[in-house]
A and B are shown apart, each in its own frame.
Chain A
């Protein structure tokens, strides 16, 4: 059974940093693209970033370029999102998702809430 379990969410002040992580199991993690998708309270879905199987390619939505870094560790089947210079606009549930999005996001985690507030 495919499982994606996010962790690391919480409350952070504007300008601060946070790292969210995702533990993957039930599939061959090192052979698939992975992504982060977020959803602000009461709003729609927004793709944040994705990363190739071996980490050699990474893509970001413009609003997070230069502030967020997606990474992965295929040795322990984990995906990470380092978020710096956070603003209130980054407040959202962050979902770990299997796939690049070019064809599909086929499995989603339960999400972790990141709240940026003073």
Chain B
């Protein structure tokens, strides 16, 4: 049972948009930054979004992040088959001095 709650799976057609939610609490998401990671099959995770909304260099603007209260959302537009991956949210749980991850969401591009 992860501290941050994500839907186990989402799916959409190529070219469409999808959102992935990450639900937490006042002990983690509400008062800390959220980051998002993409893990393609058989590879190490890669940073997609940090500080709730920022994209590292090289990440296309098809990927976006937002945060409101105790929840965060990853948005992906113009879906491509190459976006099929597992996506994880993460944040600092300041009261516990630990990093927490969501359980991960498997994206299928139909």
Query: Which residues of A are at the interface with B, using a C-beta cutoff of 8 A?
Result: 35, 37, 44-47, 50, 59-62, 95, 100-111
Contact = CB atoms under 8 A, between A and B. Distances in A.
B92 interface: yes
Given A45-B88, A106-B50, A111 B44 contact: yes
Nearest to A96: B44
A51 to B, nearest CB: 13
B56 to A, nearest CB: 7
B46 A108 contact: yes
A44 B56 contact: no
Contacts of A103: 33, 35, 50-51, 92
A59 B98 contact: yes
Interface string B85-106: 0101010100001111111100
A46 B47 contact: no
Q: Is the interface of B mostly helix, strand, loop or mixed?
A: strand
Contacts of B47: 104-107
Contacts of A101: 35, 90, 92, 99
B104 A44 contact: yes
Given A45-B90, A101-B99, 19 more contacts: A44-B2, A44-B101, A45-B37, A47-B100, A60-B98, A95-B45, A101-B90, A101-B92, A102-B33, A103-B50, A103-B51, A104-B33, A104-B47, A104-B50, A105-B90, A106-B47, A106-B50, A107-B47, A109-B44
Contacts of A62: 98
B32 interface: yes
B64 to A, nearest CB: 16
A7 to B, nearest CB: 15
Contact of A108 (B32, B35, B44, B99): B44
Nearest to A59: B97
Q: Name, among A35, A47, A109, A110, the residue most crowded by chain B CB atoms within 10 Å (CB to CB).
A: A47
A105 B86 CA distance: 16
B24 to A, nearest CB: 14
